[in-house]
Amino acid sequence: MKIYYQWYPWAYGNKASNQVAQELQQDQKDIVWVETFGDVFTQIDAGNVWVLPIENSYAWSIHENFYHIISGEYTIIWEIFLDINHYLLANTSDISQIKEVYSHPQALIQCQNYLKQHSIMPVVFWDTAWAAKMVSQSQKTDIASISSDLCSNIYGLHILDKNIQDQSGNTTRFFVVVAKKVFEKHQEKFQMKKTWKVSIQFKTKDIPSALYKCLWAFATRFINLTKIESLPARENRFEYIFWIDLEKNVSDEIIADALNELQFFCKDLVILWDY
């Protein structure tokens, strides 16, 4: 079994993957990085797992990964909440020299107030760790990266400032995903501690108050919803998919009753998993 993540080694996806490796009792050498989110889904069917960032508490959801998950037969087996502490790294120890900073778009968004305060121009780069490597290799003293603290040691960069994210408690949520057919065949390999949530997706029927009626199935049973998000369905114009995460704060029978009622007012209901 391999554990795949997108971004360069020592990026935040690598940190999350380390937690997964420990939980699944896998060796660190089984963690593999790839360049794009799409690349890793070519590996999942082989019985591997994918550590997938899904949303940040400050920036927004990573919609590309929602689409990857709902486009195939995949199962969510765990979620991880990773504290994100951004560091400003450079070849110089003088922050006044810095004119541009390179990092992943999410990291730049999460630090936008800090960058404005210091008149530093954000420049989009492939990922946080790769940006640190590029800055180090460039030997320039007027550019920096927003990266993790680990990148400072690995690439020999000065820490100009730490915890520069705009939001205190900045957190990224990751999903651990596996192919459904692989999970069903080898469930014993993927046993992870429960977080007691269910993720579902559906489209509403084209009737008045359809979304209200869908949500009513949960409200009347005191089921707590932790996420509601709409996404373009990409099939018909202005048709939307709804993604909902709900807590299992009631019995399985009550959850099942709610989903049965939900089906009267929605279509294409998919239970992504109970994790």
pLDDT of residue 267: 93
Candidate CATH numbers 3.60.10.10, 3.40.1260.10, 3.40.50.2000, 3.40.190.10; the one for domain 87-162: 3.40.190.10
26-83 residue pLDDT tens: 998 999 988 888 887 877 777 889 999 999 888 788 888 888 888 888 889 899 999 9
Give pLDDT tens digits for 96-123: 999 999 998 989 999 999 999 999 999 9
Query: Domain map of the chain by residue range?
Result: 3-82+170-190, 87-162, 197-274
Q: What is the Cα–Cα distance from 78 to 23, expressed in whole angstroms?
A: 10
Has residue 7 got a pLDDT over 90?
A: no
Does domain 197-274 sit in CATH 3.30.70.260? yes
Identify any residues that bridge with 231 across adjacent strands, giving them in sequence order.
241
Give the pairing type, strands 240-247 and 266-274.
Answer: unpaired
Q: Tokens 């120890």 appear where?
A: 93
Same fold, 87-162 and 197-274: no
DSSP labels, 115-153: HHHTT-EEEE-S-HHHHHHHHHHH--SSEEEEE-HHHHH
pTM score of the predicted model: 0.84
| 3-class SS shares of the chain: helix, strand, coil, % to 5 | 35, 35, 30
Q: What is the pLDDT of residues 159-195, one digit of tens each?
A: 999 999 998 888 999 999 998 888 888 888 887 777 8
* Mean pLDDT score, 228-239: 88
- Maximum pairwise Cα distance, the chain: 63
Alpha-carbon Rg for the chain, nearest whole angstrom, is: 21
Architecture of domain 3-82+170-190: 3-Layer(aba) Sandwich (3.40)
228 strand-pairing partners: 244
